[in-house]
Amino acid sequence: MNIARLAAFAATPHAALGRGLDRLQPVFLLATRVYVGWQFWKSGWIKVTNWPQTLDLFHDEYHVPLLPPDVAACAGAFGELFFPALLFLGLFARVGALGGFAVNALAVISYSQVLLAEGFEAALAQHVLWGFMFVLLALFGPGPIALDAWIARRRGPALR
């Protein structure tokens, strides 16, 4: 069987597979937004509900460049709550994804003495995975199950 015949034979099932997988994209993008947002929301919630301990960590453990520890603690808690909220709603979700990526990158930089140490490869891998998810959402958007998509549909094709 030559390559042209093989391609013709496989074209129909391959197209059907593609259509089936395309139907899963909205759910996949929603699940990605919820999963990665939840990881950061939990961390932000712990920060604000244990504020004295959070301040201690930012003074002693985390080394945020250019910011005083108290300001870094406030900024970190804000970023870990605000950007996931945007992702959960799918409202300004690309901003939420880029903001989440920045928070994630700053976490790696600020805690690099641990995350880049031998034996902590799995912890660093989690941050790499989350960074990849944030980039995916920034590039592809939140999908049709999002307030951004609902607003775009309401505006009509002329204003998109």
Q: How many CA atoms lie within 13 A of 43 on its CB side?
A: 22
Residue 11 included in any domain: no
Domain that holds residue 55: 25-159
Domain count for the chain: 1
What mean pLDDT value characterizes the chain? 93
Is a pLDDT exceeding 50 seen at residue 109?
yes
Contacts 24+ apart (CB under 8 A), 116-119: none
Q: What does the pLDDT look like over 136-146, one tens digit per residue? A: 999 999 999 99
d(CA 120, CA 71): 27
Residue 90 included in any domain: yes
Considering only CA atoms, which of 22, 24, 21, 29 is closest in space to residue 136?
A: 29
Residue 36 included in any domain: yes
Q: What does the pLDDT look like over 46-88, one tens digit per residue? A: 999 999 999 999 999 999 999 999 999 999 999 999 999 999 9
Residue 17 included in any domain: no
Residue 30 included in any domain: yes
Residue 114 included in any domain: yes
Over residues 103-126, the mean pLDDT reads 95
d(CA 105, CA 127): 8
Asked whether the whole model's pTM tops 0.85, one would answer: yes
CA 14 to chain centre: 30
What single string gives the DSSP state of each residue in 23-83? HHHHHHHHHHHHHHHHHHHHHHHHHHHTHHHHHHHHHHT---TTS-HHHHHHHHHHHHHHH
Residue 2 included in any domain: no
Residue 1 included in any domain: no
